[in-house]
Structure 1
Amino acid sequence: MRIIKLDAINSTNSYLRELISKGNVEDFTVVSTKNQTKGRGQMGTVWESKTAKNLTFSVFKDVSRIETDQAFYISVVTALAIIKTLKELGIPKLSVKWPNDILSENKKICGVLIENVIKQSQLKASIIGIGLNVNQTEFENLTKASSLKSISGRVFVLDEVLVALVLNLEYYFGILETGDFKVLKKEYEVNLFRKNKPSTFKDAEGSMFSGFIKGTSPEGKLVVLLEDEIIKTFDLKEISLLY
C-alpha cells in the first residue's frame, strides 16, 4: 500500500478522484488527513471529525474485474474489513447498519462513502472513503455517535489502526476477486444490525412501518419481512431504519 498523508484537505475522496484523473494510481493507494474540512457521508450528509483525533481516509481500488451488478460487494468487503479490524482491537458488540455504517452496540463509530468510477457501463475503480471515530470522546449534538476510546478506555495509535484496516481490505478484496460471493454475503448478513428483530422503518414519504430485517438481495437491497408474511426489498433511498 502507498499512504499519502495530508495535514488538511476538503475531502480525501475528492483528492483521490483528482489523482485518478491525472494518471495511473497504484492499487490500495491511501489518502489520509488529520483534518477533513468538507467530509461527506451517505445521502449528502456531513461527516464531522476533530483534528488528529480520528481516521479520515480514502482508498483507491481497481475493481475492473467486478461486474457492475456486483457493485454492492464493494460495500460488503469494506464493512467486513472494518469489523475484522475492530474485533482485533477488542471492540465489542459490532454490527453493520445497512448498508455500511459500523456500530458498537447501537452507537455509530464508523461511516463509509463509496464512489465508483464507471466507464462505458463497466466498473473501473472504487474510491472508498472511511471515517472512523478513534480517540475523539465528545460529539456535539450527535447522541448516537461513539469512538474506540469511549468504548474501550484506550488511546489508539492512528497509523497502526489505518495499516491494519487496509490490510484487512486487501484480505477481503482477495476473497471477492475469487468470486466467492456466498461466503461474503453470509458473513455480512451475520453481522447485520437488528437482523430478525422487530424494527421500525421510515419510507421515502415519511410513513413509518414495522418489519424484520431478513438479509440483503444480491443487488444490495434490504430484504424486510412485513405484515402478513410479505417479503419486500428496499433501496437506500426508499427506506431508513429507526432504532
Structure 2
Amino acid sequence: MQASRRGRLALLVLLACCCAGFIALGSWQVQRLHWKRALIARVDARVHAAPVPPPSRSDWPRIGVERDEYRRLELRGTYLRGLETQTQALTELGAGHWVLSPLQLADGSIVLVNRGFVPDGVRPAPPPPGEVRVRGLLRISEPGGGFLRDNRPGQDRWYSRDVAAIAQARGLRDVAPYFVDAEADAGAGSGWPRAGMTVIHFRNQHLQYALTWFVLAAMALWGIWRLLSDSRHMRHHGGDADGNDAQR
C-alpha cells in the first residue's frame, strides 16, 4: 500500500513538472511568435521603403540581421571588372550561380553586388563600364559555405556568399561586411545575369508549436486530476471497507 502511494506521489510530481515545463515552452513560443511577426513587419517596411545611402564605415561593426537585413539601398560607383565571383544557387529558374561583382564607391570602399542569377552553362555579361547606380537590398554575409559543403577558395568553388572570404580571395580591401542583391532593371531585357530574384520568406510556425506545448500541458493537468480523483476514491472506499470490517 505504501509503495503504491509513493508511486502515485512520484507520478504526480513528474506530471506537475511536465505541466510547468510545457506551459513555459508554450509561453516562450508565444513570445517568439510576437517577435517573428514584428520582424516580418519591419522587413516588409524596409523592402518597400525609398532607397537610402549605404551604411558608412563607422556603422559597419553594428550591421546585423534584425537591424539592417533587406534594407533598400542606392549605391553609386564603378564596377571593378574581372573580379567577379560566382556562387552556387538554386532558384525558380533552376540550378546555376549568383554573380557577385565588386562595386567601388566614391569614398574608395567596396560593396559586393549580387548582379543576379545565371543558369548552369551560361556565361554572364560583364558589368557595365563607368559610373553606375545600383539599387538593391542589403544582405548579411553568409560565412562558411552552403548546406553540408564548405567554400573552397583555392579551387574557386563557392557555395555561399561569404563576403570576407571572397574579398580575401580576390585581393580586395576596404570591403563592406555585407552584399547587395540588385533589383531588377526594367531596361535590362532578358539577358543574364537576371537580377531581382531575392526570395524573402520567414518560417513562422511558432503558433503551432505553442498550441502543441499547451495541449501537452492540458494533458498533464488531466493526468494530475485523474490521479487525485483516483486517490480520493480509494480513500473513500477504503474508509467504508474499514467501517464495515469494524461492524462485523
Give the TM-score of the pair, scaled to structure 2.
0.23
Give the TM-score of the pair, scaled to structure 1.
0.23
Larger RCO: 1 or 2 (CA < 8 Å, sep 6+): 2
More helix by share: 2
Question: Bigger radius of gyration, 1 or 2?
Answer: 2
More strand by share: 1
